[in-house]
Amino acid sequence: MRNIDQIVTRFREAGSKITPQRLGIFKLLKDNKDHPSAEDVYKEILKIHPSISFTTVYKTLQTLRDMGEIQELTIDPERARYDPEIKDHAHTFCRACRSIGDLEMNSENNGFLLPSPGKTQDFEVHNVQIHFVGLCEDCK
């Protein structure tokens, strides 16, 4: 995710208003490593902005996703999760506690390289998502 000022500029250029609630969502997501769901973001932002609606949170997350500022992860079968780290990387998913972690992917740790977004053979790659399901250190 870019810095907050760049995101504010992109929202304004797209014709969206920058409200204190949206700014709060941007700040909450910036450098967030927890891979929160929309519900998680809503619960946290509600502490700061008690009048915010879930719809505002959800639409803001979808706009950020559509702008390429966050990734929407479909790893958790119960709900979408969001990651502000947009560079290609893999994730781990603990089937017991449902935590999601980041996993750097390179030829040294997995034996292959990920395709980058762009033209790859006869297929245009827009996004790469790889995840590993298992048990985290705490749940083993």
* Domain ranges for the chain: 4-73, 87-134
Residue 111: per-residue pLDDT: 45
Residue 90: per-residue pLDDT: 85
Residue 52: per-residue pLDDT: 96
Q: For residue 89, give the nearest of 132, 53, 59 by alpha carbon.
A: 132
pLDDT tens figures, 82-136: 999 988 788 999 999 999 998 876 655 554 555 555 555 677 777 767 888 999 9
Report, as an integer, the average pLDDT of 3-24.
93
More confident residue, 24 or 105: 24
How many whole angstroms separate alpha carbon 91 and alpha carbon 101?
5
What is the CATH number that goes with domain 87-134? Answer: 3.30.1490
Contacting residues for 74 by C-beta, under 8 A, at least 6 apart: 80, 129
Residue 10: both structure tokens together: 């992109």
CATH number for domain 4-73, candidates 1.10.10.10, 3.30.830.10, 1.10.260.40, 1.10.3720.10? 1.10.10.10
pLDDT tens figures, 30-75: 989 999 999 999 999 999 999 999 999 999 999 999 999 999 999 9
Residue 108: per-residue pLDDT: 57
Produce one character per residue of 40-57: b if its CB has 16 or more CB atoms within 10 Å, e if not. bbbebbbeebeebeeebb
pTM: 0.82
How many whole angstroms separate alpha carbon 98 and alpha carbon 95?
5
CA terminus-to-terminus distance, the chain:
32
Contacting residues for 76 by C-beta, under 8 A, at least 6 apart: 37, 93, 98, 100
